[in-house]
Amino acid sequence: MTVLDVQAIRKAFGAVRAVDGVSLRVEPGEIVGLLGPNGAGKSTTLHMVLGLISPDSGTVRLFGRDPARHRTEVLSRINFAAGYLGLPGSLRVWEVLRAFAYSYGVARPAARVDQVIELLDLGRLRDQRFRELSSGQQTRVQLAKALINEPELLVLDEPTASLDPDVGDRMRELLLAQARESGRAMLITSHNMREVERMCHRIHFIAGGRIVAEGNAEQLAGEYGVTDLEEVFLKVARQ
Ligand SMILES: Nc1ncnc2c1ncn2[C@@H]1O[C@H](COP(=O)(O)OP(=O)(O)OP(=O)(O)O)[C@@H](O)[C@H]1O
Ligand SMILES: [Mg+2]
């Protein structure tokens, strides 16, 4: 069953056509990348997928359902991580995660919190207040929060932006394993082209609110007559 099916969504903010007819699909276990220059409409697209804002037109279907009509069910099966998301700063790491475990109605919340703490290597930080963590440490808590309900679709807006190369690499391997072993699908944005080459099964390039190219990294490089995704990006961005 298709996890996410987006058809021709549009969103304007005043005169700005932030998203101008984007269609995309994500299948189980698939990692789909949304790439494009600053202001291209990536985050706006993700926010429409999550139901944080509603499209002016077009449709979003999650697990074959209309998320507006099956909001509770759909939200319990997805999750989201982004650097710009605030989490309650005065709570300790375990308390943040426990709160989300409760709000998602996770079975055996204490055990699941221990699991994600282990998975994200947050053991040493579990009693620290969220606001006292470095930004890379906060990012790891965001990812732990995003996995708390074992989502079938993980929406990640620049999830590794603040991570050092070592932790970034470990997070990529972790997410790849989550897709491979648990069939978790992901829709991800990133400005790190090597990361996208490593992680994404399929890529959509978006510019000016429209999808301008689509395929895997190799196909896109071939189509643009270049050797890697970084060069594809430069061509797309400078078109
Ligand atoms: N709430 C809003 N109100 C007004 N304009 C907005 C709003 N959100 C986004 N925009 C505009 O919509 C366009 C797309 O923004 P969006 O955040 O989707 O870009 P992006 O592709 O995520 O860029 P970046 O790579 O910088 O994160 C931009 O021109 C932005 O200024
Ligand atoms: Mg963005």
| Best residue among 42, 54, 155, 205 to mutate for probing ligand 1, ranked by most atoms within 8 Å of CB | 42
Atom of ligand 1 nearest to the CA of 43: 22
Give pLDDT, residue 238. Answer: 86
What is the 109 CA–ligand 1 centroid distance (Å)?
Answer: 36
- Look at residues 121, 150, 179 and tell me which one is the last residue of a structural domain: 150
Together in a domain, 73 and 181: yes
**Helix axes 217-224 and 229-238, enclosed angle (nearest 10):** 50
The pairing of beta strand 4-13 with beta strand 57-62: antiparallel
Together in a domain, 156 and 50: yes
Together in a domain, 162 and 69: yes
Instruction: Give the pair of three-digit tokens for residue 96.
Output: 């943040």
Give pLDDT, residue 162. Answer: 85
Number of domains in the chain: 2
Together in a domain, 15 and 100: no
Query: What is the number of the ligand closest to the CA of 204?
Result: 1
What 3-state DSSP class applies to 65? strand
Residues of the chain predicted below pLDDT 50: none
CATH number of the domain that residue 72 is part of? 3.40.50.300
Together in a domain, 226 and 210: yes
Together in a domain, 157 and 234: yes
- The answer to whether 200 and 31 are in contact (CB under 8 A) is yes
Give the structural domain span for 92: 85-150
Give pLDDT, residue 131. Answer: 96
Together in a domain, 62 and 161: yes
Together in a domain, 224 and 162: yes
Q: What is the pLDDT of residues 104-148, one digit of tens each?
A: 999 999 999 999 999 999 999 999 999 999 999 999 999 999 999
The pairing of beta strand 202-207 with beta strand 210-215: antiparallel
Together in a domain, 221 and 116: no
